[in-house]
């Protein structure tokens, strides 16, 4: 009898202990005080760390992205407790290498997300690889319309695309004409551009917008950015006698073209660059006086944003990023560093947490659901616009001026006009959203200044 009571007592004790353990586990899991469940989070990034496009912003894309990773890890990981892997690879500014590296990230590292790249030429093959393997692709830059204009399911672009930058170029041109007191319909515009999908897409949108507005686009010519002599093109440009030069370049081509424009005596009221190398301090420093007052219509630079309008956690991340970049690299954070930081941080701060909390998993299909429903308001990122992707078939999914769609592009994305003024990259367009004032025309002592 005593033995039987002892057995019963032992069983009751075990039941109580098991119940206590289960109850404690349930409480800790519900309150978030317990250990994080096993969730494997892997991301990869393809960037132009070397090659001709590295100096145009590819390297800075990667530096900004790495700072976002470091910042979130310093906070304990995603949601303060989930660690993650981030693998950075170099495509050497080569499209075929970019595709191969994206495939390696997916097949060898099993990443859920591939970030990349600066150039559209390298980005487009990456998007095809992500479509093939059904993994999320988040461009860091790459503004060619084809990235989100051809029905891709797994690509989500947060940054502005060709149309947005072209609108910024036209808007900045109109602002300069207003400042100079001239009718934009009488001004002569020339456009030269690198001949990849980035430059070609901008040419198509700028051409259409000039046609719609009745502006005089008097000269258009493409060139390979790897060329070393542009004198023939520039001789023809000079003969066209433009008042304003719009220009798309990547890097080394920029320094050479500036030099040859001065040598050939080309004169204009203003040079309006369209992103990439135009926003890079090294180009400004290399070229010297001819680059003073150069416009760069690009993605908004990090110093355009107003931290007072940011959410507190965004402001903290933003200030940390600016301070760390300058402390480590001895220069101000660039446009491209800002986009590398912002796009990776958005995935770590908003997208992965939502997937974990709502679905309990982070596979590509789950992340896609979260991205389609994502809406970040103004002040929710370090850039002066929010994020909301255009859902296929939604009321926002309508053709643009060229009859193209921007499915899963960011409907809130906007370009901004910047100008180099005494070594500082100043926001000048749109005037209601930036802090600086455009200088136009070029001062009389400028090497490229045209007499009005």
Q: Does 156 share its domain with 171?
A: no
Domain-terminating residue out of 336, 371, 388? 388
Q: Does 283 share its domain with 201?
A: yes
Contact 424, 413 (CB under 8 A): no
Sign of the Cα pseudo-torsion (118, 122, 128, 130, in order): negative
Q: Does 380 share its domain with 319?
A: yes
Q: Does 21 fall in a domain? A: no
pLDDT band at residue 181, thresholds of 50, 70 and 90?
very high
Cα 46 to Cα 50: distance, rounded to the nearest angstrom:
11
Is residue 4 pLDDT above 80, yes or no? no
Cα 386 to Cα 68: distance, rounded to the nearest angstrom:
18
Q: Does 434 fall in a domain? A: no
Residue 24 has what pLDDT?
47
Q: Does 393 fall in a domain? A: no
Is residue 28 pLDDT above 70, yes or no? no
pLDDT band at residue 252, thresholds of 50, 70 and 90?
confident
Contact 54, 282 (CB under 8 A): no
Cα 381 to Cα 313: distance, rounded to the nearest angstrom:
9
Residues 65-78, mean pLDDT to the nearest whole number? 98
Of 53-57, 237-241, 256-260, least confident by mean pLDDT is 53-57
Q: Does 167 share its domain with 133?
A: no
Residue 25 has what pLDDT?
42
Q: Does 316 share its domain with 245?
A: no
Residues 43-59, mean pLDDT to the nearest whole number? 95
Residue 2 has what pLDDT?
47
Which has the closest alpha carbon to 259: 294, 231, 224, 221?
231
Residues 87-99, mean pLDDT to the nearest whole number? 98
**Looking at the 3D structure of the chain, how many domains does it have?**
2
Residue 275 has what pLDDT?
82
Residues 198-214, mean pLDDT to the nearest whole number? 97
Q: Does 411 fall in a domain? A: no
**% of the chain with per-residue pLDDT over 70:** 92
Q: Does 184 share its domain with 240?
A: yes
Which has the closest alpha carbon to 283: 223, 344, 225, 221?
225
Residues spanned by the domain of 133: 42-160+306-388
- Predicted TM-score (pTM) of the model is 0.87
**% of the chain with per-residue pLDDT over 90:** 84
Q: Does 118 share its domain with 266?
A: no
Q: Does 420 share its domain with 380?
A: no
Which has the closest alpha carbon to 117: 109, 125, 105, 107?
125
Q: Does 74 fall in a domain? A: yes
Residue 29 has what pLDDT?
47
Backbone angles phi, psi at 376, to 5 degrees: -105, 125
Q: Does 287 share its domain with 170?
A: yes
Cα 419 to Cα 272: distance, rounded to the nearest angstrom:
9
Q: Does 72 share its domain with 87?
A: yes
Cα 84 to Cα 42: distance, rounded to the nearest angstrom:
6
Q: Does 235 share its domain with 377?
A: no
Q: Does 452 fall in a domain? A: no
Q: Does 14 fall in a domain? A: no
Residue 35 has what pLDDT?
57
DSSP string, 389-422: B--TTSTT----TTS---TTBBTT---EEEEEET
Check which CATH number belongs to the domain holding 282 and give it. Answer: 3.40.50.2300
Task: Please confirm whether the linkage preceding 441 is cis (ω < 30° from 0).
Answer: yes
pLDDT band at residue 34, thresholds of 50, 70 and 90?
low
SS3 (DSSP) at 321: helix
Q: Report DSSP state, residue 82.
A: B
Which has the closest alpha carbon to 275: 173, 351, 168?
168
Contact 289, 263 (CB under 8 A): no
Q: Does 148 fall in a domain? A: yes
DSSP string, 240-305: H--SEEEEE--SHHHHHHHHHHHHHT--BSEEEE-SGGGG-HHHHHHH-GGGTT-EEEESPPTTTS
Q: Does 204 share its domain with 127?
A: no
């Amino acid at each position: 009898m005593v033995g039987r009571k002892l057995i019963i007592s032992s069983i009751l004790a075990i039941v109580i202990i098991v119940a206590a353990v289960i109850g404690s586990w349930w409480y800790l899991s519900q309150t978030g005080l317990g250990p994080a469940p096993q969730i494997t989070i892997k991301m990869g990034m393809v960037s132009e760390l070397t090659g001709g496009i590295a100096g145009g912003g590819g390297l800075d894309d990667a530096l900004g992205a790495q700072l976002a990773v470091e910042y979130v890890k310093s906070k304990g990981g995603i949601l303060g407790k989930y660690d993650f892997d981030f693998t950075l690879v170099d495509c050497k500014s080569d499209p075929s290498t970019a595709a191969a590296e994206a495939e390696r990230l997916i097949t060898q590292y099993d990443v859920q997300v591939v970030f990349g790249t600066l150039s559209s030429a390298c980005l487009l093959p990456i998007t095809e690889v992500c479509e093939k393997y059904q993994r999320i692709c988040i461009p860091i830059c790459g503004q060619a319309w084809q990235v989100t204009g051809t029905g891709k399911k797994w690509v989500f672009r947060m940054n502005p695309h060709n149309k947005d930058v072209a609108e910024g170029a036209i808007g900045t041109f109109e602002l300069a004409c207003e400042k100079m007191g001239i009718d934009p319909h009488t001004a002569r515009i020339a456009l030269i551009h690198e001949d990849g999908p980035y430059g070609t897409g901008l040419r198509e949108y700028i051409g259409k917008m000039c046609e719609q507005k009745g502006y005089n686009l008097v000269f258009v010519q493409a060139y390979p950015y790897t060329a070393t002599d542009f004198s023939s093109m520039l001789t023809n440009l000079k003969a066209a006698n433009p008042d304003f030069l719009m220009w798309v370049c990547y890097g080394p081509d920029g320094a050479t073209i500036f030099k040859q424009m001065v040598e050939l005596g080309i004169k204009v009221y203003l040079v309006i660059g369209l992103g990439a190398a135009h926003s890079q301090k090294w180009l400004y420093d290399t070229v010297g006086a001819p680059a003073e007052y150069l416009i760069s219509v690009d993605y908004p630079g990090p110093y355009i944003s107003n931290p007072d309008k940011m959410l507190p956690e965004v402001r903290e991340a933003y200030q940390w990023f600016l301070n760390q970049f300058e402390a480590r690299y001895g220069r101000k954070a660039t446009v491209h560093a800002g986009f590398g930081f912002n796009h990776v941080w958005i995935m770590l701060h908003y997208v992965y947490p939502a997937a974990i909390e709502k679905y309990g998993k982070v596979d590509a299909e789950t992340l896609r659901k979260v991205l389609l429903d994502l809406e970040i308001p103004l002040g929710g990122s370090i850039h002066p616009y929010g994020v909301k992707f255009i859902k296929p078939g939604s009321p926002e999914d309508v053709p643009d001026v060229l009859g193209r769609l921007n499915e899963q592009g960011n409907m809130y994305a906007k370009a901004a006009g910047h100008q180099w003024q005494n070594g500082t990259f100043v926001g000048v367009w749109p005037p209601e959203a930036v802090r600086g004032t455009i200088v136009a025309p070029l001062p009389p002592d400028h090497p490229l200044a045209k007499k009005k």
